[in-house]
Structure 1
Amino acid sequence: MIDRTIFALMTLCVTTVMLAACNQEERPGEVETFDAISDDEVITLLGTEPFWSMEIKQGVMLYTTPENPEGEAATVSRFAGNNGLGMIGELGGEALAIAITPGQCSDAMSDRTYPYYATVTIGSEQLNGCGYTDQQPFAGAAAP
């Protein structure tokens, strides 16, 4: 299990650094730790092609797909980086890493705009999508 945790942490760190470089201008000096998503917010992440969604609430993540609408739950540990929120855990015996970074994200299938980008790694599979919270909702139609 420790090998998977290290792999997940390394994947998350690399992904976070890559997304930070894409979404942020270079700033000299120290950067404050990301604190835009509080511990008590319910986070929803979603993606298309393939379709998937995650709801994260108080350290518990529920991952659903069209093939598994009931979903699979996992406990996740969160940590804040310089330009986003990271979470690690294990899902179905695979290392799980989640990176959430600020930016206007589109799911390319609706007229919605989401306040966060999401990158999820489950084992060797990477999922890309968007995210929002109960306190920071998406903009656009409620049911496209």
Structure 2
Amino acid sequence: MKTFISSIAILGFSISLLSMHGNGMAVAQTANSEEFIARGTEPFWSVTVSKRGIVYSSPDAPKQTFPYVTPLKAEGRPANLVRVYRLKGRASNILIIKQVDTCSDGMSDKNYSYSATLILGNRVLDGCAEKK
């Protein structure tokens, strides 16, 4: 019985250590922390990021679906600051979501907490993003 209780205590301590961030601060992990909606105007476009996939849509282009990939994070920065998604396809496709003080879509009074830059081949689209 003592061995069983000791094993549980060690397992709990190990899990606690694994959830610690590099600077010793615990980082909360949530199931939907990687889910975003990015939008832009002139031209209008949107990208939905979820574990099921990354979907680009625009009124003037066919919908494109990319498999979800774990985003790259900026070295030496908090994980929530910058996310870079490499979208698999024939061209170099990248979605960059960066936490900012405020981002405006230029069409409404809504302010977003993230900026978004979408690169699809030779096209660069700029907009804002929010967590779902």
Normalising to structure 1: TM-score of the pair? Answer: 0.61
Is 1:97 the equivalent of 2:104? no
The one of the two structures with greater contact order (alpha-carbon pairs below 8 A, sep at least 6) is 1
1:36-115 alignment runs, 5 A limit: 40-41=32-33, 42-58=35-51, 60-68=53-61, 71-77=63-69, 78-81=71-74, 82=77, 83-91=81-89, 93-103=90-100, 104-115=102-113
CA contact (8 A) 2:40 2:46 kept: yes
Q: Report the structure number with the largest CA radius of gyration.
A: 2
CA contact (8 A) 2:84 2:95 kept: yes
CA contact (8 A) 1:74 1:90 kept: yes
Q: What amino acid is aligned across from residue 104 of structure 2 in structure 1?
A: S
Pair 38,122 (structure 1): closer, same or farther in 2 beyond 3 Å: farther
Q: What amino acid is aligned across from residue 56 of structure 1 in structure 2?
A: V
* Alpha-carbon distance, 1:76 to partner: 3.9
Where structure 2 has 5 or more consecutive residues not aligned to the other structure, the ranges are 1-22
Q: How far apart, in 2, do the equivalents of 1:71 and 1:56 lie?
A: 14
Q: How far apart, in 1, do the equivalents of 2:28 and 2:99 lie?
A: 9
User: Over the residues paired in the alignment, what is the CA RMSD in angstroms?
Assistant: 2.6
* Alpha-carbon distance, 1:79 to partner: 1.6
CA contact (8 A) 2:50 2:68 kept: no
Which 4+ runs in 1 deviate beyond 3 A?
Answer: 35-39
Where structure 1 has 5 or more consecutive residues not aligned to the other structure, the ranges are 1-30, 135-144
Three-state SS of the structure 1 residue aligned to 2:110 is coil
Normalising to structure 2: TM-score of the pair? Answer: 0.66
Three-state SS of the structure 2 residue aligned to 1:94 is coil
* Alpha-carbon distance, 1:96 to partner: 0.9
Identity among equivalent pairs (%): 25
Alignment size in residue pairs: 101
